[in-house]
Amino acid sequence: MGIWDLPASEKDAVELLQGYGIIPNERTCKNSHKMKLYFGKQIFWKCNVEECNQHLGVRTGNWFEGSRISFVTAVRFIYCWCKELTSIKFCAEELGIADKTVIDWNNYMQEICALEMDEKERKQIGDEGLIVEIDKSLFVKRKNNTGRVLPQQWVFVGICQETKETFLVTVPNRRRCYPHGKNLRKYQGRKHYLFGLLERIQDK
């Protein structure tokens, strides 16, 4: 997927996300009736059974719940994230995203990537003649996004350039692994549970 392949309308963006299972293709109401997705100024699911007539926001119960940015902007951000183009300045100028939102979305993508990798079977990657790139990340979270900082967690990740196999390990103290503070090359294998969409972008 290239930049010119990205959707230009909310309908196209939602349908793209549905194609990768990020937004559901079907929903049922509380009474187990099949709902229909409507597009307009608002995008919502509606039960057309007259005595029911329930409505449900398209963001409810999926990865976009609580998010306010448009689906077009979200897809463009995901694309730019894969290309390592999500600095605060770039996103403000090119995507019209506020500073805090840029920080939040960068964290979301990184955390989901880490969760996906952590769930994989742990095994040795690389072999003689293969190159494995590794990097470190510090995960920090504030309670309710404000106030005191909760315990920090160092994470080391790696990707084999040739096979694209990855690994992730958590460590209590990065100095125990790299006592000389060796600079590690930038991690280039970022993936998360939106793998289908990301792999299509990254293959371009």
Is 132 in a helix, a strand, or coil? strand
Q: CA-CA distance, 6 to 199, in Å (whole number)? A: 14
Task: Kindly give the pairing relationship between strand 132-139 and strand 55-57.
Answer: unpaired
Q: Which residue has the higher pLDDT, 84 or 124?
A: 84
Residue 24, pLDDT above cutoff 70: yes
Each residue's pLDDT tens digit, 98-110: 999 999 898 888 7
Residue 73, pLDDT above cutoff 90: yes
For residues 171-191, give the mean pLDDT.
40
187 in Cβ contact with 134 (< 8 Å) = yes
pLDDT of residue 140: 62
145 in Cβ contact with 128 (< 8 Å) = no
Is 11 in a helix, a strand, or coil? helix
For residues 63-80, give the mean pLDDT.
92
**Nearest by Cα to 72 from 103, 104, 96, 46:** 96
